[in-house]
Amino acid sequence: MDVVLRQSGGTVPEAIITDTGSYSDIVFGLLHLLGRQYRPQLANLPDQRLWRIDPAADYGPLDKAARGRIDVERIGRHWEDMCRIAVSIHTGEVSAHEVTRMISRDGQPSALGHAVAHFGRIFKTLHVLRLADDEPYRREIKAQANLTEGRHDLARRIFHGRKGEMTRIYYEGMEDQLSALGLVLNCVVLWNTVYMDRALAELRAQDYPLDDADVARLSPFIRTHIGIDGHYSFHLPDLGGTHRPLRDPDAPDEQ
């Protein structure tokens, strides 16, 4: 949550997609209190517990699955405090990490933590039902997760090099591998985005048939054309305001 909410620039995403390891009912509650949609990938989906508000309601085939009960009264008792901590996180007065530690100590939620968790279970149940029934919803989550994994894979490749050896990254004369890694990664993404757009524009100018669905699957994290190993210099070259020429697809690949 802190990574998402404390970005130095850009807009905070409305939907946050993570793997199973980042999931908890409290995280569900806090993020939805902050007006964000939380969409974790959940392992063992058929075993996920669903929650209900009305214990007497008949959910048909889902009646046994919805065996948990959401304590609305508990949420009501702590609602003002829940809103206060949401505002404190939003304004940056306190980090989400500090809040989660405060309301859940040694794995045992406090009374306020239980209230946040019960609030989160409302949205967890809706999320599980959509995962089970809404194929476009599942595809969107999977596509975003693949994009994120592609970024992580590229970062690992840059940081460790092709042979598992540490790539040495120099920035302003100082060895600063972790912070410079993000800069190198962003440079690769920017380069790929600019030249993929130019290549697509050239193909369209030649009336080459392009499927929008295929274009949507292009990734800015491709790396086979980039020399990962070696030393990196961040001195800005003078390119004269021009781009490198696009490669002729009929020409042999350069090694």
**Which residues have CB under 8 Å from 84's CB, separation 6+?**
none
Token pair for residue 251?
């020409």
Each residue's pLDDT tens digit in the chain (255 positions)? 777 777 665 666 778 877 766 778 998 999 999 988 888 888 777 778 899 999 888 988 888 888 899 999 999 999 999 999 999 998 889 988 899 888 987 778 999 999 999 999 999 999 999 988 888 888 887 777 666 666 666 666 655 554 444 444 443 433 444 456 667 777 888 888 889 999 999 999 999 999 988 888 888 877 777 776 667 676 776 767 778 788 887 777 664
Quick one: DSSP state of residue 253?
P
Q: Whole-model pTM above 0.85?
A: no
Alpha carbon 206 to chain centroid distance? 36
- Residue whose pair of structure tokens reads 């279970």 in the numeric block: 121
Torsion of CA 109, 114, 115, 116, to 10 degrees: 60
